[in-house]
Amino acid sequence: MMIGARTILRLRRRLARIPLPLRQVLSGELPDLPVLDDRADGFLINSLPEPLLERLQASRPQLKIFVRQRYRRSYASLEGGFDAYLARFSSKSRSTLKRKLRRFEERSGGALDLRLYRTEAEAEPFYRHARAVSATTYQERLLGAGLPEGEGPLAAMRALAASDQMRGWILFLDGRPVSYLYAPADGDTLIYSHLGYDPAVAELSPGTVLQFEAMRQLMDEGRFAYFDFTEGEGQHKLQFGTGTVDCLDVLLLRPGVANLLAGHALNGFDGAVAAAKKIVRRFGLERLARRIRR
């Protein structure tokens, strides 16, 4: 059970996780679930398009379905060129983005120092710079959710780069890395894996500047068709996406007593969190809530 990115309580169930890739989400086709292992309690399906919920239940009537969360999964089409992409933004949003870009360029001596990394030889320097930025972020310091550290993640990154299946960007300021974006690929789709920035320069909006220019480079390159912002919502994802799909995270559980109790407990917890969020929004307590999360 989680509030935001914080784990409050763990209910241990043996689940076969089925994360749906963007292409399948966009197809609107029901996922083909494997035969459930005898030792498993059920499935966890991430990013099930909401219209498929009834069909999913009908396909596995022996399992009890529980909806964990609802969200809009954002993605951006990388086809059509950057000018057409930018035209999708409101005039106010375009003005804001360009103003942030100019402000960062002015602070950087008149030119943006954004470096793209994509080859096997470039994987190590990208990883080193990205780890330096990640170590400063609240995601890593408070939540343990930064760019993974160690030889294993670096080796995996090298392997992806060797087959042209990753892109990485580092934004520098005064010769120092201040923001990074890591995007591995699944075929013609780049996946929004990790983005972070040094909070010491937060007033310069480095994450926004980096994403804006990364989208420009990707559309100029023409190698990929989509940029997948993955599960969950967020202003950053909605801002840079060109489309959304209403999705669900769903549990399909065997109808045993322990599983049903766990499913109903999760539903009750999710309902309580949703009610608390409504109260926060209704009484304008968002700032207090952010301070408590920190």
Domain coordinates in residue numbering, the chain: 2-70+245-293, 79-224
Give the closest residue to 188 by CA, choosing from 17, 20, 18, 21. Answer: 21
The whole-chain average pLDDT of the chain stands at 87
The token pair at 282 is 């209704």
The token pair at 81 is 């060129």
CB atoms within 10 A of CB 115: 14
| Per-residue model confidence (pLDDT) at position 268 | 56
For the chain, the first-to-last Cα distance in angstroms comes to 18
| Per-residue model confidence (pLDDT) at position 39 | 86
The token pair at 31 is 């996922």
| Per-residue model confidence (pLDDT) at position 123 | 98
CA distance 116 to 134: 17
**Burial bucket for residue 294 (CB in 10 Å: 0-12, 13-18, 19+):** exposed
Bridge pairing between strands 64-77 and 226-228:
antiparallel
pTM of the model: 0.83
The token pair at 187 is 């075929």
CA distance 270 to 97: 35
The predicted-structure confidence for 8-31, as pLDDT tens digits, reads as follows 445 567 899 999 999 999 999 999
| Per-residue model confidence (pLDDT) at position 255 | 85
| Per-residue model confidence (pLDDT) at position 279 | 60
Q: Point out the residues of the chain with pLDDT beneath 70.
A: 1-12, 256-294
| Per-residue model confidence (pLDDT) at position 77 | 97
Give the closest residue to 116 by CA, choosing from 99, 97, 130. Answer: 130
Residue partners of 173: CB distance under 8 A and separation at least 6: 104, 107, 108, 113, 201, 204, 206
* 3-state SS, one letter per residue, for the chain: CEECCEECCCCCCCEEEEECCHHHHHHCCCCCCCCCCCCCCEEEEEEEEHHHHHHHHHHCCCCEEEEEEEEEEEEEECCCCHHHHHHCCCHHHHHHHHHHHHHHHHHCCCCCEEEEECCHHHHHHHHHHHHHHHCCCHHHHHHCCCCCCCHHHHHHHHHHHHCCCEEEEEEEECCEEEEEEEEEEECCEEECCEEEECHHHHHHCHHHHHHHHHHHHHHHHCCCCEEECCCCCCHHHHHHCCEEEEEEEEEEECCCHHHHHHHHHHHHHHHHHHHHHHHHHHCCCHHHHHHHHC
CATH number (3.40.50.300, 3.40.630.30, 1.20.120.1760, 3.10.180.10) of 79-224 reads 3.40.630.30
| Per-residue model confidence (pLDDT) at position 259 | 57
Quick one: how far is CA 137 from the chain centroid? 16
Taking a C-beta distance cutoff of 8 angstroms, is the pair 49, 246 a contact?
Answer: yes
| Per-residue model confidence (pLDDT) at position 145 | 77
